[in-house]
Each structure stands twice: as C-alpha cells, then as structure tokens.
Amino acid sequence: MGYAQLVIGPAGSGKSTYCSSLHQHCETLGRSIHIVNLDPAAENFDYPVAVDIRELINLEDVMEEFGLGPNGALMHCMEYPLYFHTVWTLYDLFLLYPESLIHIIRELEDSLDDWLTEELDNYLDDDYLVFDCPGQIELFSHVPVLKNFVEHLQRKNFNVCAVYLLDSQFITDVTKFISGCMASLSAMIQLELPHVNLLSKMDLVTDKRHLEDYLTPEPVTLLAELNKRMGPQFLKLNKALMELVDEYSMVSFIPLDLRKETSIQYVLAQIDNAIQYGEDADVKIRDFDPEDADE
Ligand SMILES: Nc1nc2c(ncn2[C@@H]2O[C@H](COP(=O)(O)OP(=O)(O)OP(=O)(O)O)[C@@H](O)[C@H]2O)c(=O)[nH]1
Ligand SMILES: [Mg+2]
C-alpha cells in the first residue's frame, strides 16, 4: 500500500512552501517522504524533487509550440488572486482562463498516464508521496486531469488524501473566504477523496479573535457577514450558498503555522489518519502482542 497527499489550492496559497516544510519535518523524524512536482510552470524549489513533471512538459515548450506569449499563462496565474474577489469571480475566472493553460492540461492528460506509469513504478509499497500541484483552479474543479490522475494512483494501490490550502489572508474578507470554500467544495466533489482543508500562513494572522468563525464556519454567521458586505440583490444567492456549505457540512479548516513544529505535526497526523497511514504498522505490532502470545 502506498500513501499520497495531493496538495491543491489557489495560486500562491503556500502549497510549495508547505511541501518543503513537510519534507524538513519528516527528515527530522527520520521518516521518508518524496515530493513530486506537478507544476509545469514551477521555477525553483526548496525541497528535493523526487519526480518532476517539467521533464514531461514545461511552460516554455507550450508557449513555443502554440505561439503564445509569456503574458498568456503566467500573467493570468499571477493575477489570479486579484480576480478572486466575490463569489461571481469564480465564474468569471472560468471565462477568462488563458488558452495556454488549457493546452498544458490537454497535453498532460494525453501523456500523464504513460509518464506516471514509468516514474511512479519506482515508488510502491510503503512509499509516501506528496504531490505539489499547480494553483489553477480548473485542475481540481472541472477538468478531469487530476481526477484521472487520482484514479491512476488508486489503481496502483495508493491511499490518497486531498490537502487543500487556503491563504489565511482570505479570512480578512468574507466574500473571498466563501470563494475559497466553494473551490474547496468543488475539489471535494470532483476528486471524491478524503479531504483536509488547511488555513495556511497563520503567522500572518495577528487578530485571532474571529478565527474560530472561519476554522469551523457557522453558516448563519457567515451569511450575516456576507449580507452585510453585499448588496440586497445577493440575499437569495447568499442564502443558497450558505445552505450548500451547511448541507455538505464538510468545510472546516485546520490552521497551519509553519513556524511551529507542533502545527506541522498535528496537520500531518490528521492527514495520516485520513489515509490510514501507520495503521498497517499497528496491525503488525499487534500481531506480536505478548498478551495474545500468552493465550
Ligand atoms: N508569511 C508566510 N508566507 C508564506 C507561507 N507559505 C508561503 N508563503 C509565501 O507565499 C508565497 C507563495 O508561496 P508558494 O509556496 O510558492 O505558494 P504556491 O501555492 O506553491 O503557489 P503556486 O505554485 O504559484 O500556486 C511565497 O512568497 C511564500 O514565501 C507562510 O506560512 N507564511
Ligand atoms: Mg507552487
């Protein structure tokens, strides 16, 4: 049985930094994990990259092949958080999305299976892989590439957990926060995986008074906030959105403060639990339980 974390979330939410800190944390523990870069546009890493998708495809090649300027894909990626203002912008985002990234995604879909079979064949059994994904929302909301990828891993006997990171700065604005929750929810629905939400960059949260409201969001509180922020024409929409969050009752966040070893440890324990990592080991230990031996 293999184990895997699929690290997803909006652009700049801290995915690569989390992967790097997780790698360091595991190194101190003497625990083996391998980080896989799945971002074709990534430039440099703070962690040793076990497998790198840029060997398969990279942004430059795609721009060249499709005659796209550098302003296409990357600029939009960088501006992405700016678009992320209201619940509407999720939809706008889909419309605005640059062609170039869609090309990458198509390319990926075609060759991903072959590449994975080759690359991941080295990682089996007890291996623990962490996939650092790109921050494009399509990847985990409505383009099937990540879903296919997950199915591939599952066929290879990996227990996979989606780890969704949301920047703590999103809680400064309730409309942004709701957009973040919606993106998380769509990842849950699309990927059908055990799912852990992290509120990243907790070191930047100075005012922790209303933090609980966001870690385990109460739909009623959020609705009141949303209605305060938005015009009366949104009342019905806001109510419908909150009912959605409420019905799924799946959106809650674990704070992630990378300055604190205990925070990383707690997050890792939650994820391990979701993918039953370590349970096989328990079984093995239990097999040798001296009490059983006495019987
Ligand atoms: N203060 C603070 N900054 C952070 C933290 N994690 C990441 N950052 C910063 O946030 C920015 C984005 O971090 P990345 O780890 O590259 O984010 P990402 O989600 O991998 O970004 P993409 O791959 O582009 O989607 C960088 O400038 C990081 O230094 C954190 O815990 N605290
Ligand atoms: Mg990254």
What share of the chain in percent tops pLDDT 90?
33
Residues of the chain with pLDDT under 70: 40, 54-117, 123-125, 137-145, 249-250, 280-295
Ligand 1: which residues within 6 Å by Cβ? Answer: 11-17, 39, 134-135, 200-201, 203-204, 258
pLDDT in tens, 226-236: 899 889 999 99
At residue 280, the pLDDT reads 62
In this structure, which residue's CA is closest to atom 30 in ligand 1?
201
Tell me how far apart the alpha carbons of residues 186 and 253 are, in angstroms, rounded to a whole number.
Answer: 15
At residue 106, the pLDDT reads 56
**199 Cα to the center of ligand 1, angstroms:** 12
pLDDT in tens, 60-80: 655 555 455 544 444 433 333
Place of tokens 């640059």: 98
At residue 156, the pLDDT reads 82
DSSP state of 204: G
For 41, the token pair is 């546009």
**146 Cα to the center of ligand 1, angstroms:** 21
In this structure, which residue's CA is closest to atom 13 in ligand 1?
14
At residue 30, the pLDDT reads 93
Q: Are 11 and 80 in contact (CB under 8 A)?
A: yes
In this structure, which residue's CA is closest to atom 5 in ligand 1?
201
Tell me how far apart the alpha carbons of residues 155 and 145 are, in angstroms, rounded to a whole number.
Answer: 15
At residue 118, the pLDDT reads 73
- Give the Å distances, CA to CA, from 179 to 20, 176, 212: 26, 5, 18
**134 Cα to the center of ligand 2, angstroms:** 6
**133 Cα to the center of ligand 1, angstroms:** 13
For 226, the token pair is 């949303």
**156 Cα to the center of ligand 1, angstroms:** 31
At residue 279, the pLDDT reads 75
Q: Which atom of ligand 1 is nearest to the CA of 135?
A: 25
Tell me how far apart the alpha carbons of residues 68 and 73 are, in angstroms, rounded to a whole number.
Answer: 8
At residue 257, the pLDDT reads 97
At residue 58, the pLDDT reads 58
Tell me how far apart the alpha carbons of residues 114 and 207 are, in angstroms, rounded to a whole number.
Answer: 48
Residues whose CB is less than 8 angstroms from the CB of residue 43 and which lie 6 or more positions away in sequence, other chains included: none
**Which residue type is seen at 174?**
V
At residue 210, the pLDDT reads 83
Q: What does the DSSP assignment read for 212-275?
A: HHHHS--HHHHHHHHHHHS-GGGHHHHHHHHHHHHHH-----EE--TT-HHHHHHHHHHHHHHT
Domain 2-207+252-277 part of CATH 3.40.50.300: yes
What is the domain partition of the chain in residue ranges?
2-207+252-277
In this structure, which residue's CA is closest to atom 3 in ligand 1?
201
